[in-house]
Amino acid sequence: MIDYHIHTMLCNHAEYPMEAYIQMAVDIGLKQICFLDHLTIRKSEGELSMSPDEVPFYFQAVQTLRHRYDGVIDIKAGLEIDFNSAHTNLFQDIVDTYSFDVIGSSLHFLGNLNIVSRGSAWKHGILNTDYIYGLYLEQLEKMLDYNYFDVVCHLDLVKKFGWKSSISFDKEFNEILSKIKGRNLTVELNTSGYNHPVKEAYPSFNIIKKCHEAGIGITLGSDAHNPESVGRHFDRALSLLVSAGYKHLTTFKRRKPGKISLRNAC
């Protein structure tokens, strides 16, 4: 089993040292983990992410742990870069400088609106749902115009607080999946949604099935911000993947995709 989405204290909203996450992963029998900590470039959100100046320390810390646990568990180094079209050149420079194993891209902000914040207007349901869904999908499609990343993280994160659109966005999602396939990107099955108000994984089972039908690879992450969350809900995730027809999970080494059999992952 693998967990390709684990955070560290550098993001300023995760708990405990990196080794605590590794030890939990070893204890529950994981074969690979990837630290995929936040890199968010926004004037008002620096406290929710490491800064670009901290990337060298972060990268070296993962390398040190990789060597320390060699033969025990395979530890990968990655980044979860929050999409911001104003800083894509910086993102490209960073990923070109370091030999990361995988780069994920995610979308948490629509302009000044943080769609995952418990203090946001979106959480409290006082915004037009159809408008926010439309804006989210529009920004996702723009994100896919860039090529500095390998994995699309929590694809339908906009549903976090349980708000559903009153109209269908199937056409827009289908176009996004077509673009993902054309770019040969991987989609993440992120289990953190089971602990959010929406009470389901990201993306939904319907989207997972469409990913399989389109031949899009899928990887697995808990989005752990504390050691107890490593590998959480993976029994449910595996059931979804098998039901959708998947037989393999996508893995990465130096940004080159590989795969592990779901049979061996269990």
Q: Where exactly are the structural domains of the chain?
A: 2-265
What is the rounded CA–CA span in Å between residue 12 and residue 15? 8
pLDDT digits over 180-233, tens only? 999 999 999 999 999 999 999 999 999 999 999 999 999 999 999 999 999 999
pTM of the predicted model as reported, rounded to 2 decimal places: 0.95
Report residues of the chain scoring pLDDT below 50.
45-46, 266
Q: Which CATH architecture has domain 2-265?
A: Alpha-Beta Barrel (3.20)
Name which of 31, 51, 53, 33 is nearest 41 in CA terms. Answer: 51
Q: What is the pLDDT of residues 237-250, one digit of tens each?
A: 999 999 999 999 99
Residue 164's Cβ-side half-sphere holds a number of Cα atoms within 13 Å equal to 8
User: 184, exposed or middle or buried, with CB in 10 Å at 0-12, 13-18, 19+?
Assistant: exposed
- Looking at residue 48, what is its pLDDT? 74
Question: Can you give the pLDDT at residue 47?
Answer: 63
State the greatest distance between any 2 C-alpha atoms of the chain, in Å, as a whole number. Answer: 52
Q: How far apart, in whole angstroms, are the C-alpha atoms of residue 146 and residue 88?
A: 8
